[in-house]
Structure 1
Amino acid sequence: MRKTDTLQDNREIIAELRQKDSHFASIFDEHTELDQKINQLEKDLVKHTSREEEIEQMKRRKLHLKDEIYKAIEKNKPHALNQ
């Protein structure tokens, strides 16, 4: 996978994996939920300040999930596209 690949670039593989792999669907959904929560908290300056440590923990978890998502995508890409 190119370093510039995004989740959007891999939407077909993601859709397929979400249907056939319940673990992938679960981590993808958790990643999406964390992204939304983080964005909401960062927009609210009062909540952001009081929950800074929690936000950082969510960001670390989200990054871990993203790594796992990309590993699954790479593993499931047709071999000819990996070059």
Structure 2
Amino acid sequence: MFPEFRDLISRLKTQDDHFARLFHRHNELDQQIRNMEAGILPADGLSIENLKKEKLQLKDSLYQILLKASQA
């Protein structure tokens, strides 16, 4: 995710608690969605869709933080 911000992501994960929480939650959702789609965890299509929407909202938030931090 966002390879152009790799160094900034590493820095923000250690310096910005809010960013770190969002990043961690995004990764948790990503793994949960993968497990559901693979049949490892039980799920229906609506549950997966809702998790994907939450993940996308987190990604948008992370991107906005990255843009702001990169311009500082």
- Whether these two folds match at TM > 0.5 is yes
Shorter-chain TM-score range: 0.7 to 0.9
Separation in 2 of the partners of 1:78 and 1:59? Answer: 29
**Which runs of 5 or more structure 2 residues have no equivalent in the other structure?**
none
Structure 1: unaligned runs, 5 residues or longer: 1-5
Count how many residue pairs are aligned between Structure 1 and Structure 2: 72
Given that 2:35 and 2:41 are in contact with CA atoms closer than 8 Å, whether structure 1 keeps it comes out as no
- How large is the RMSD of aligned CA atoms in angstroms? 2.0
Using structure 2 for the length normalisation, give the TM-score.
0.87
Q: Which runs of 4+ in 1 moved over 6 A?
A: none
Percent identity over the alignment?
A: 35
Q: 1:15 to 1:70 in 2, by over 3 A?
A: same
TM-score by length of 1: 0.77
**Structure 2 matches for 1:39-54, cutoff 5 A?**
39-44=34-39, 47=42, 50-54=43-47
